[in-house]
Amino acid sequence: MSLRKRFRESPAQETGDNTKKHKRTSTHSDKCKFCAQTLNQAVVYTNFPDDYAEESVALTSERLNVYNGTENISFEEGDLPSHKITCFSIYDLNDHLCPLDTGLLQKEVYLHIGGYIKPIFDDDPSPENGIATLDMGPIHEWFIAGFDGGEKVLLGIITNYAQYVLMEPSLEYAPIFKSLQEKTVLFKFVIEFLLSNFSRAPSYEELLAAVENSDNPLLTEEFLLQNAQFVCDQIHSFDLDAGDNNDMPLLTMPCVRTLASLAGVSFRKRQLMRNLLGNQRRTKLQLSKATATPLVRQLFEQLFPNQIQTENCQSPKKTRCGICDTCRSPDCGQCVYCKDMVKFGGDGNMKQPCKLRRCPNLVVQELDESDDETVVTPARGREDGRRPGVSRVLSDGPLQNFRESIDIVLGGVNDDDTGILLNIKTGDFVQLSPKSATKPNTIARVVNIYTATEPMVHVYLFYRGNETILGEVANPQELFASNECEDCPVAAIVGQAKVVYKATPDNWADLGGIECLPSGDDRFFYAKQYDSETATFTDYVKVRNELDSCGHCRLNEERKKIETPTFKDNKVQWRNEFYEAGNSVFLDPSVYQFPIPVECTFDDAKEMNESKYPEYYRKREANASCKKMPQPFCIGLIETLCDGPAGVLMAIRVFFRPENTKGGSMLSYQSDINLLFWSTKCKYYTNAIFFLIISESYKTIVSIDLFQTVPINCPNTSSVINCQLIFQL
């Protein structure tokens, strides 16, 4: 008896008997218990092949044999024969035609296939010379092959007896199978793109450009987003089949992760996810933790350590979702990680899950977290490299070293008459081609036009609003002057820009929200100057430029001179301040190490009887916090200044505070907070000391009378520091 006679005689008769038994008519909500299709919309498989045979009988036919018996071929255990099948239809136990990609096989629904079996070498899609079969299966799995660069993509199924390559569907099954064919074409294109560009880690924009530039009109961005779930599921299956050779899964590529994020791809079973969400317990509302800036947090930790709750340095253990098919599958026991597990006889040192159980949700989550932790280069600085030339320079003879104007052609090819003629003069605002294709054009002002090996321009650069600390909240039409200049070829100019200077009016507070300029892509204004190092805005200061020099470059050179100490007339000039012998200065605490360190009044190593002193730990934590307090600045007196071969050499006499003497911290409690002690300690420093001086100099009048209190006169009359002489320290 065939399988068809065993299971049912006719699906229409079975449906009719059930309707008569329950005494009700079929409605639109009646669904098949196998494929879950509505009964009035499901297509029933009726075109059975004539004189069909069962699968086990058909596979014994001589027409399917590819060997003549003389070959010396060995087969491994578990190898299945491969054949082709054409004019096929796939259906369930109720003869309803079913697609392969709707998850019925994962739900353990029995699907069978009927058609004409042909040998693996036969490429004829017609049923001629084929063996008619019916109720083949049930189907265990289906697969996609053909990623070797060929034009066609291969679809196949696997049963208990053999694996079959699908050729052409039957006429009634073709509309259902067409959707899967289109998806597999898209998946084949994506896989081949990822494999050929794996080393570059392509972005989503590159994948999208490849899809739109393909010869197949079916491949579009809309089609890619509609079938993103199918593509990502198959990529994950492709990674699992790679086994131990898959160190970097394709699912972690930037383009695949962006596609999954845009399309909302999920690797979980919807039904199981709904059940888990319904069983979640309600949690109580928790108060939010304290929020502080890094500077406030650092200061608070120094003054009151261990008071702000901090997160653990070790990140929580990442767990799999436990819902997808990968997490619910057993360990293979064959991969490297399984062999290291204790249950398979290993040492258990690697502590990694089975390679066939790589949760796709966890893989994507780890990559997203690593992207968040990646240090992003701020967009405030300028990129290195040469700007590409996009225009053509018109020369009326040999260029001079410096000139006031030059003609260029935008969009011209070689020496033809096409393109736009522009006359660039010194003082004009221009747009420069960006050094990176992802950045907008750079706005600059031409300062000089000169000739090196080619026509060059010296330009003064401007910041766009989104390149400053304002980011995207800035006005897109507002520019900010910088202190940066650049030499670039004239050919890097892509066009002119309309930029005006808008001075800040006196009634600026009453003009908020008023549009000052009409909107446009090439209309800009500037009023402030931006310092990228300190992220500060200042009023723009106009600088006069000459034909052969740049005023901004001169200002940058003057700034460098200010930061360099210079010795002249027994004085040192640094940061627009003059230092000479007899000036007192504040120094960094690391400049001088006092011979008597500051004592801490509490010993942490001292153990107390907790039963006798149960509250002693409070005093210990309170007093121990003084260890992390920053040290006060050192105060010194400049004794001598001289110019040496390594730079300016200076001798500084260091004053001692009360806590730096033998009196210790108790003496500081009994003395004035501004009291200092004279010392005989002098140290010699070179130019490096100027980077540690943090305050203006103070005029000092020193007297050496024994224990006589001498005031140190400061520019601020409200601040007086006393000085006493002490002979031994």
State the distance between the two ends of the chain, measured CA to CA, in whole angstroms: 114
Q: Does 352 reside within a domain?
A: no
Q: Does 339 reside within a domain?
A: no
Q: Does 374 reside within a domain?
A: no
3-state secondary structure of 130: coil
Nearest to 411 by CA among 421, 397, 423: 421
Domain co-membership, 17 together with 86: yes
Strands 583-587 and 577-579 turn out to be unpaired
Domain co-membership, 229 together with 164: no
Domain co-membership, 571 together with 549: no
Q: Which domain holds residue 431?
A: 393-508+515-555
Is it the case that residue 151 has pLDDT exceeding 70? yes
One-character DSSP codes across 623-635: HHGGGGSPPPPEE
CA–CA distance from 197 to each of 194, 211, 251, 425, 588 (Å)?
5, 14, 14, 46, 54
For residues 36-41, give the mean pLDDT: 86
Q: Does 529 reside within a domain?
A: yes
pLDDT of residue 69: 62
* Measured distance CA(57)–CA(488) in Å, rounded: 80
For tokens 């009151």, name the residue: 304
With both helix axes pointing from N to C terminus, report the angle between 174-196 and 228-242 in degrees, rounded to the nearest 10: 60
Residues in contact with 248: Cβ distance below 8 Å, sequence separation at least 6, in sequence order:
198
Confidence tier at 85 by pLDDT (50, 70, 90): very high
Domain co-membership, 573 together with 536: no
Is it the case that residue 335 has pLDDT exceeding 80? yes
Domain co-membership, 575 together with 721: yes
Domain co-membership, 126 together with 251: no
Domain co-membership, 83 together with 138: yes
Confidence tier at 574 by pLDDT (50, 70, 90): confident
* Measured distance CA(706)–CA(11) in Å, rounded: 120
DSSP code at position 674: T
Q: Does 116 reside within a domain?
A: yes
Strands 523-531 and 536-539 turn out to be antiparallel
Domain co-membership, 189 together with 142: no
DSSP H stretches of helix in 314-388: 325-328, 336-340, 360-373
Across 56-202, the runs of DSSP E, i.e. the strands, are 82-91, 112-118, 131-136, 141-145, 154-158, 163-166
Give 536's strand partners: 531
pLDDT of residue 480: 93
pLDDT of residue 379: 40
For tokens 């005093």, name the residue: 619
Nearest to 89 by CA among 157, 185, 9, 186: 157
Q: Does 271 reside within a domain?
A: no
DSSP code at position 73: -
Question: What whole-number percentage of the chain has pLDDT above 90?
Answer: 6
- CATH code, domain carrying 234: 1.10.10.2230
Q: Does 451 reside within a domain?
A: yes
* Measured distance CA(186)–CA(698) in Å, rounded: 77
Domain co-membership, 214 together with 105: no
Domain co-membership, 36 together with 109: yes
Domain co-membership, 218 together with 82: no
Helix H or strand E encompassing 206: helix 204-212
**Top-confidence range, 138-152, 174-188, 550-564:** 174-188
pLDDT of residue 707: 31
| Residue that terminates a domain, selected from 123, 140, 172 | 172
User: 199 burial class (0-12, 13-18, 19+ CB within 10 angstroms)?
Assistant: exposed
pLDDT digits (tens, 9 = 90+) for 629-649: 778 888 888 888 888 777 778
- CATH code, domain carrying 477: 2.30.30.490
Number of domains in the chain: 4
Number of C-beta neighbours around residue 247 at 10 A: 6
- Whole-angstrom Cα Rg for the chain: 41
Is it the case that residue 650 has pLDDT exceeding 70? yes
3-state secondary structure of 27: coil
**C-alpha dihedral over 212, 216, 220, 225, to 10 degrees?**
-120
Is it the case that residue 687 has pLDDT exceeding 60? no
pLDDT digits (tens, 9 = 90+) for 655-676: 888 888 888 888 888 888 888 8
**Top-confidence range, 66-70, 249-253, 582-586:** 582-586
* Measured distance CA(204)–CA(316) in Å, rounded: 31
pLDDT of residue 387: 64
Cβ distance 183 to 230 under 8 Å?
Answer: yes
Give 393's strand partners: 408
Q: Does 72 reside within a domain?
A: no
Residues in contact with 669: Cβ distance below 8 Å, sequence separation at least 6, in sequence order:
none
pLDDT of residue 246: 56
Residues in contact with 128: Cβ distance below 8 Å, sequence separation at least 6, in sequence order:
none
pLDDT of residue 697: 43
Number of C-beta neighbours around residue 652 at 10 A: 25
For residues 14-40, give the mean pLDDT: 60
Helix H or strand E encompassing 721: strand 721-725
Least confident interval from 147-151, 484-488, 596-600, 703-707: 703-707
| Residue that terminates a domain, selected from 172, 195, 216 | 172
Across 382-477, the runs of DSSP E, i.e. the strands, are 391-394, 402-403, 405-410, 420-425, 429-432, 442-451, 455-464
* Measured distance CA(494)–CA(27) in Å, rounded: 69
CA–CA distance from 525 to each of 380, 462, 512, 514 (Å)?
19, 11, 16, 14
- Sheet containing 163-166: order of strands: 131-136, 112-118, 82-91, 163-166, 154-158, 141-145
Domain co-membership, 214 together with 87: no
| Residue that terminates a domain, selected from 172, 202, 232 | 172
pLDDT of residue 323: 63
* Measured distance CA(4)–CA(14) in Å, rounded: 13
* Measured distance CA(344)–CA(274) in Å, rounded: 35
Mean pLDDT of the chain: 74
Phi–psi pair at 482, nearest 5 degrees: -125, 180
Nearest to 327 by CA among 350, 364, 351, 360: 360
